């Protein structure tokens, strides 16, 4: 180190000068592995053979790094693909023979230009990022500021209402204490015995009344207190909601992966029924599914269709039934009516237990096979067997016991990444809170996949024996629902047909929403 604190530059000396008079080197010959001063460099500069075959570089200290460790030859080229120096054997015979090769001087020039271009691009990006960062910081500050202001206003309002009411009540109770003090002072100032004795009875009453006063007591029972309690509850609920929003906003700021803000499903997504049981109906906007209990089992398969294309991902949010079984995920569009006939990537809820379901088929095989994977004959030729791999696993708490199943979610957010070829399922529990349930990595294939939801048991949809039409009364008599389904306008219980025992056929009528695109 020099006196000014800067690191001294190493001076390379000529290897051909006498030891006692070595001059600074001007160039280093990579082939000769020596450094030369101006005088000793002349031979390399004036001899054509040396000039063409002996590469010269700026003076450098050689430590045995100028030759290839594998072939023992001089390093003369630079491999741009592997970013390493190679010899002529590496370049034309071994692993680098098909790579982009350059001489040292050309590689140095090209890489220097590339480095300058990257530096310029990085400066532009840095400037853009600074602008974006400023906008992001301003936006987040404003959003959190609004949440905190609303929270402070709610807390302040609740505090003022409570304190004002209590203050009025305490002031009213203080009157008794002030009255007792005045009475006692007047009695103590009275010198006449007869007058004092006449006053004492009233003074005693005032003192007892004052002693009974409890300043820590709330409002006196009555309509005013009931009204205030109701107002405090309403304002308190608002305050709790605002505090929750502020809290969730902070969580989404520091942990966006697990606390993403809840956005509604795009309005272009709608349900398109593939199988619809007689007990099922749909809203006019095709985003809500209803179930009428007296019409049979809850059974439906619905594709989720979009009127626009999304290049990188698709996301949807579904509210699911609280009791019925369901499957949600991706299936092949042509096999939606029978999921066993095509690939499926899904999250299942059966008997209140969550599990993953993956059914994959070989892309190379023709789809004209049955659900058992047996080839179908066409003319004199037999189609190859379609290989199917089915995977299913119960989903349990992470780090928990194996038999501790994950509870069924009420609302599921599904994220389909086209780029990553993955399908993720999240449980939504709040405006910003979500918990990952499952992520499925899909194999790349040529199948035409589409989002779907299946409600009810698969056996109910594939049943062909008419069992759904039969309803067995508690008295033991069986009735055919189809005989009564023609009159769907009978909404009132009293208008519905009854069994001979008096029980309404099909059971008590309950119509409920079982599925919704949120």
What pLDDT score was predicted for residue 345? 92
pLDDT one-digit tens code per residue, 389-408 = 788 888 876 544 455 667 88
Phi and psi for 487 in degrees, rounded to 5?
-110, 80
| 12 occurs within a structural domain | no
Instruction: Please state the rounded mean pLDDT for residues 118-146.
Output: 75
**The domain boundary residue, chosen from 208, 227, 254:** 254
Predicted confidence band at 482 (pLDDT cuts at 50, 70, 90)? Answer: low
What pLDDT score was predicted for residue 459? 55
**The domain boundary residue, chosen from 86, 106, 126:** 106
Say if residue 236 is in the same domain as residue 277: no
What pLDDT score was predicted for residue 15? 86
Quote the CA–CA distance of 48 and 71 in Å, as a whole number: 27
Instruction: Please state the rounded mean pLDDT for residues 414-438.
Output: 82
Predicted confidence band at 452 (pLDDT cuts at 50, 70, 90)? Answer: very high
**The domain boundary residue, chosen from 226, 254, 282:** 254
Predicted confidence band at 328 (pLDDT cuts at 50, 70, 90)? Answer: very high
pLDDT: which is higher, 105 or 362: 105
Say if residue 52 is in the same domain as residue 143: no
Q: How many CB atoms lie within 10 A of CB 123?
A: 10
Predicted confidence band at 490 (pLDDT cuts at 50, 70, 90)? Answer: very low
The domain of 398 spans 269-364+384-465
Q: Which of 296-305, 335-344, 475-484 has the lowest mean pLDDT?
A: 475-484
Judge whether residue 170 has pLDDT over 50. Answer: yes
Say if residue 316 is in the same domain as residue 433: yes
What pLDDT score was predicted for residue 381? 46
Judge whether residue 347 has pLDDT over 90. Answer: yes
Say if residue 176 is in the same domain as residue 235: yes
Q: Taking all residues of the chain, what is their mean pLDDT, rounded to a whole number?
A: 76
Instruction: Please state the rounded mean pLDDT for residues 20-25.
Output: 88
Q: Is the dihedral of CA 500, 501, 502, 504 positive or negative?
A: negative
Judge whether residue 297 has pLDDT over 70. Answer: yes
pLDDT one-digit tens code per residue, 172-218 = 777 888 888 888 888 888 888 888 888 888 888 888 888 877 766 77
Say if residue 426 is in the same domain as residue 341: yes
DSSP assigned state of 380 = T
Judge whether residue 411 has pLDDT over 80. Answer: yes
Instruction: Please state the rounded mean pLDDT for residues 262-288.
Output: 80
Say if residue 331 is in the same domain as residue 419: yes
Instruction: Please state the rounded mean pLDDT for residues 343-362.
Output: 86
pLDDT: which is higher, 3 or 450: 450
Indicate the number of domains in the chain: 3
Predicted confidence band at 246 (pLDDT cuts at 50, 70, 90)? Answer: confident
What pLDDT score was predicted for residue 193? 83
Query: Would the pTM of this model clear 0.75, i.e. be above it?
Result: no
CATH number for the domain harbouring residue 298: 2.60.120.920
Say if residue 31 is in the same domain as residue 77: yes
Judge whether residue 369 has pLDDT over 50. Answer: no
Say if residue 166 is in the same domain as residue 315: no
Instruction: Please state the rounded mean pLDDT for residues 243-263.
Output: 67
| 510 occurs within a structural domain | no
Beta carbons of 27 and 59 less than 8 angstroms apart:
yes
β-sheet bridge partners, residue 288: 516
Instruction: Please state the rounded mean pLDDT for residues 465-486.
Output: 61
Token pair belonging to 178: 């002030």
Instruction: Please state the rounded mean pLDDT for residues 419-431.
Output: 82
Beta carbons of 489 and 357 less than 8 angstroms apart:
no
What pLDDT score was predicted for residue 9? 61
Q: Which of 92-96, 134-138, 415-419, 436-440 has the lowest mean pLDDT?
A: 134-138
pLDDT: which is higher, 278 or 129: 278
Judge whether residue 315 has pLDDT over 80. Answer: yes
Quote the CA–CA distance of 424 and 4 in Å, as a whole number: 60
What pLDDT score was predicted for residue 348? 92
Say if residue 400 is in the same domain as residue 339: yes
| 125 occurs within a structural domain | no
Beta carbons of 448 and 333 less than 8 angstroms apart:
yes
Quote the CA–CA distance of 338 and 336 in Å, as a whole number: 5
């Amino acid at each position: 180190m020099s006196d000014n604190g800067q690191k001294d530059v190493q001076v390379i000396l000529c290897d051909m000068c006498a030891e006692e008079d070595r001059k600074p080197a001007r160039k280093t010959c990579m082939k000769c592995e020596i450094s030369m001063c101006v005088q000793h460099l002349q031979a390399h500069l004036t001899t054509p053979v040396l000039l063409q075959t002996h590469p010269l570089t700026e003076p450098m200290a050689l430590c045995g790094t100028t030759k290839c460790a594998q072939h023992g030859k001089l390093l003369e080229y630079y491999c741009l693909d592997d970013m390493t120096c190679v010899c002529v054997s590496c370049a034309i015979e071994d692993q680098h023979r098909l790579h982009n090769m350059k001489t040292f001087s050309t590689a140095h020039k090209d890489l220097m230009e590339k480095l300058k271009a990257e530096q310029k691009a990085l400066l532009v990006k840095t400037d853009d990022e600074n602008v974006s960062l400023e906008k992001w910081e301003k936006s987040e500050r404003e959003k959190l500021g609004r949440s905190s202001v609303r929270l402070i206003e709610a807390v302040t309002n609740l505090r003022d209402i409570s304190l004002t009411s209590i203050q009025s009540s305490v002031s009213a109770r203080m009157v008794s204490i002030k009255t007792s003090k005045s009475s006692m002072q007047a009695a103590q100032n009275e010198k006449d015995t007869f007058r004092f004795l006449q006053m004492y009875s009233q003074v005693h009453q005032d003192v007892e009344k004052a002693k009974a006063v409890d300043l820590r007591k709330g409002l006196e029972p009555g309509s005013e207190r009931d009204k205030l309690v109701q107002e405090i509850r309403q304002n308190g609920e608002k305050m709790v909601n605002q505090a929750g929003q502020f809290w969730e906003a902070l969580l989404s700021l520091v942990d966006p992966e697990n606390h993403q803000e809840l956005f509604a499903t795009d309005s272009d997504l709608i349900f398109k029924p593939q199988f619809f049981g007689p007990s099922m109906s749909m809203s006019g906007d095709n985003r809500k599914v209803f179930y009428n209990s007296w019409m049979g089992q809850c059974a439906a398969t619905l594709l989720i269709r979009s009127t626009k294309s999304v290049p990188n991902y698709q996301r949807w949010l579904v509210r699911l039934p609280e009791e019925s079984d369901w499957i949600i995920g991706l299936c092949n569009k042509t096999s939606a009516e029978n999921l066993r006939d095509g690939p499926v990537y899904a999250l299942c809820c059966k008997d209140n237990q969550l599990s993953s379901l993956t059914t994959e088929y070989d892309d190379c095989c023709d789809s004209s096979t049955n659900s058992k994977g047996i080839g179908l004959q066409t003319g004199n030729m037999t189609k190859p067997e379609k290989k199917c791999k089915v995977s299913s696993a119960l989903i349990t708490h992470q780090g928990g016991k194996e038999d501790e199943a994950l509870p069924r979610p009420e609302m599921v957010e599904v994220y389909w990444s086209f780029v990553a070829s993955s399908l993720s399922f999240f449980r939504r529990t709040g405006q910003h809170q979500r918990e990952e349930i499952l992520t499925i990595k899909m194999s790349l294939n040529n199948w035409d996949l589409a989002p779907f939801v299946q409600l009810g048991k698969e056996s109910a949809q594939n049943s062909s024996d008419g069992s759904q039409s039969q309803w067995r009364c508690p008295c033991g008599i069986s009735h055919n629902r189809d005989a009564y389904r023609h009159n769907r306008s009978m909404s009132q219980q009293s208008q519905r047909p009854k069994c001979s025992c008096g029980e309404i056929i099909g059971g008590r009528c309950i119509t409920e929403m079982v599925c919704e695109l949120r």
